[in-house]
Amino acid sequence: MNYSIIIYILGHIFNFSAVFMILPCITAVIYQEPAGLWFLVCGLVLAFVGVLLSKKKPENKKIYAKEGMVIVALSWLFISLIGALPYMLTGSIPSFTNALFESVSGFSTTGASILNDVESLPRSVLFWRCFTNWIGGMGVLVFIMALLPYLGASNMYLMRAESTGPSVGKLVPKVQKTAAWLYAMYMGLTILQIILLLFGGMPVFDAVCDSLATAGTGGFAVKSDSITGYNTYIQVVITIFMFLFGINFKFYFLLIGKKFKDAFKMEEVRWYFIIYIAAVALITLDITKDIGNLAVNLKDAAFQVSTIITTTGFATADYCTWPLFSQTLLLMLMFLGACAGSTSGGIKVSRFILYIKMMKKELAFQLHPHSIKKIKMDERTVEHEILRSANGFLLVYLLIGIVSLILVSLDNFDFATSFSAVAACLNDIGPGLGMVGPTGNYAEFSILSKYVLMFDMLAGRLEMIPMMLLLTPATWRRQ
């Protein structure tokens, strides 16, 4: 284990966290809030610690898969702890556990909250909540890689450990340029959404914060009723952008490069469109009892399917009051998630495609034992390593989910609440069913359950393995 490089990169995590504190400080100045002083104090302390840790460059800059996983897991743990400080120091969330829960939920882009009255918070704190969604959406280490090319080829191990999906490749030959391209597209879509929301009459502060939360598919809103109180135009814009941020960013890169044939050849993206349209149609038909409400129901169905499949967590309607069929369909979409290489959580459409193809291959093998059939995705043969990784992910995913459900059930809430809370946190969605539905929150859960759910949020965001490696003794042995 290369401990020196781990300490060095963690130092940069502290440095960039200090820089991140500048924006809520500016927000506090604009709205004349004393809470800004605490963001400034946090920033100065973080900068001091970061400089100490990153002052000496390590002689050995090699990062392998194990170091990459550990660095990513530790980085997300530390940035979550850092993110909890403003909540506590400003008095917005005095409890350490609750502040950490809100911070983990923000950075992991889950959107689960323990707050009952969001609008009572200072605007600088509200901005910080939404900004953590945006930082966590694309990934803090991807952000650092886009700016600091100090690790060269070793960066790929960090990107693979932090990015979502069964396989991660470079868009361009250099990893740093790939990271820069990803953030350029990410920022471009975010800015475009802000402009469109302003055009619809949304206040500037709301437009910026809700766009940050949409981009990260985190779902932290600045209103207690989420997006319900805004007009139809604003709800439609947010629906569209939630869907767009659920698409693999490689698709946008190919479109920008005018490689339209390659872009639409992406099997996962095609199925993502098909699943979304089918789900919206089925739910609209299920909840429509009066043809006169068809347009409103279509809007609400499109919004809720978009927010669930992309694991954003915004709401315009209480889907817990919808028929059981619609609730069940939304629950299934919680597990599905959107595309790999996007900012969304969940198992991902690409993995489900692989699982179906593996099942078909196994059935074909039983009929024709001597046949040789390769699994292909986007007209390319899928390597055995990717299939093995996808199977390993599913096993760990199920194990964490089962253990978490057993522990959370100790709170003795109803099954729908306990099960959907674990599912919502493990898939980084936020709202679930029952007590944790669109109109509820996680405040009533015990301290044990909150830490279990925090682990689930981080495990879900980092695709299970990095967090599990932290708990494995062999990871820390010197070789």
Going 253 to 424 to 439 to 133, the CA torsion angle's sign is: negative
Average pLDDT over the chain reads 89
25: three-class secondary structure by DSSP? helix
Q: Measured between alpha carbons, how far is 414 from 418 in angstroms, rounded to an integer?
A: 6
Q: Measured between alpha carbons, how far is 426 from 464 in angstroms, rounded to an integer?
A: 9
Buried b (16+ CB within 10 A) or exposed e, 146-185: bebebbeebbbbbbbbbbbbbbbeebeeebbebbbbbbeb
The predicted structure's pLDDT at residue 146: 64
Distances (CA, A) of 287 to 73, 232, 323, 467: 42, 19, 7, 40
Q: Are 405 and 419 in contact (CB under 8 A)?
A: yes
Q: Count of residues for the chain?
A: 479
pTM value is 0.92
The predicted structure's pLDDT at residue 449: 97
The predicted structure's pLDDT at residue 382: 86
DSSP string, 294-348: HHHHHHHHHHHHHHHHTT----SS-GGGS-HHHHHHHHHHHHH-S-TTSS--SS-
Q: What is the dihedral of CA 33, 34, 38, 43, to 10 degrees?
A: 50
Q: Which of 75-79, 111-115, 174-178, 331-335 has the lowest mean pLDDT?
A: 174-178
| pLDDT over threshold 90, residue 324 | yes
Q: Are 427 and 345 in contact (CB under 8 A)?
A: yes
Q: Measured between alpha carbons, how far is 54 from 12 in angstroms, rounded to an integer?
A: 6
The predicted structure's pLDDT at residue 424: 94
The predicted structure's pLDDT at residue 173: 53
216: three-class secondary structure by DSSP? coil
**Binning pLDDT at 50, 70 and 90, where does residue 479 land?**
low
Q: Are 24 and 128 in contact (CB under 8 A)?
A: yes
Q: Are 437 and 415 in contact (CB under 8 A)?
A: no
| pLDDT over threshold 90, residue 402 | yes
Query: Which tokens go with 454?
Result: 């925090």
Residues 60-80, mean pLDDT to the nearest whole number: 81
* Rama region for 463: left / alpha / beta (φ>0; ψ in -120 to 50; rest): left
Residues 441-462, mean pLDDT to the nearest whole number: 95
Instruction: Give 96-122 pLDDT, tens digit per residue.
Output: 999 999 999 999 999 999 998 999 999
Instruction: Give 272-314 pLDDT, tens digit per residue.
Output: 999 999 999 999 999 998 888 899 999 999 999 999 999 999 9
Q: Measured between alpha carbons, how far is 102 from 96 in angstroms, rounded to an integer?
A: 10
Going 306 to 309 to 310 to 312, the CA torsion angle's sign is: positive
Q: Which of 71-75, 349-353, 399-403 has the lowest mean pLDDT?
A: 71-75
Instruction: Give 123-172 pLDDT, tens digit per residue.
Output: 999 999 999 999 998 887 776 666 665 555 455 556 665 666 565 455 65
In 10 A of CB 37, how many CB atoms? 14
Instruction: Give 197-236 pLDDT, tens digit per residue.
Output: 999 999 999 999 999 999 999 999 999 999 999 999 999 9
Q: Are 276 and 307 in contact (CB under 8 A)?
A: no
Q: Measured between alpha carbons, how far is 304 from 283 in angstroms, rounded to an integer?
A: 10
Q: Measured between alpha carbons, how far is 35 from 120 in angstroms, rounded to an integer?
A: 13
| Closest-CA residue to 219 (of 116, 134, 295) | 134
3-state helix, strand, coil in the chain (%, to 5): 70, 0, 30
DSSP assignment letter at 477: S
Q: Are 311 and 424 in contact (CB under 8 A)?
A: no
Q: Measured between alpha carbons, how far is 95 from 99 in angstroms, rounded to an integer?
A: 6
The predicted structure's pLDDT at residue 153: 46
In 10 A of CB 275, how many CB atoms? 18
The predicted structure's pLDDT at residue 55: 84
H or E element at residue 376? strand 376-377
- Please enumerate in sequence order all residues whose Cβ is within 8 A of that of 13, keeping only pairs 6 or more positions apart, or say none: 50, 75, 78, 79, 140, 144
Q: Measured between alpha carbons, how far is 250 from 340 in angstroms, rounded to an integer?
A: 10
The predicted structure's pLDDT at residue 156: 58
Q: Are 335 and 393 in contact (CB under 8 A)?
A: no
Instruction: Give 235-280 pLDDT, tens digit per residue.
Output: 999 999 999 999 999 899 899 988 888 888 899 999 999 999 999 9
The predicted structure's pLDDT at residue 142: 74
Q: What's the distance, Cα to Cα, between the start and end of the chain in Å? A: 7
Instruction: Give 407-428 pLDDT, tens digit per residue.
Output: 999 999 999 999 999 999 999 9
Q: Are 119 and 222 in contact (CB under 8 A)?
A: yes
Instruction: Give 342-396 pLDDT, tens digit per residue.
Output: 889 889 999 999 999 999 988 988 888 877 788 888 878 888 888 888 899 999 9
β-strand partners of 381: 376
Q: Measured between alpha carbons, how far is 346 from 323 in angstroms, rounded to an integer?
A: 24
The predicted structure's pLDDT at residue 68: 77
Q: Which residue has the higher pLDDT, 88 or 463?
A: 88
What type of residue is 30? Answer: I
- Please enumerate in sequence order all residues whose Cβ is within 8 A of that of 11, keeping only pairs 6 or more positions apart, or say none: 49, 50, 51, 52, 53, 54, 55
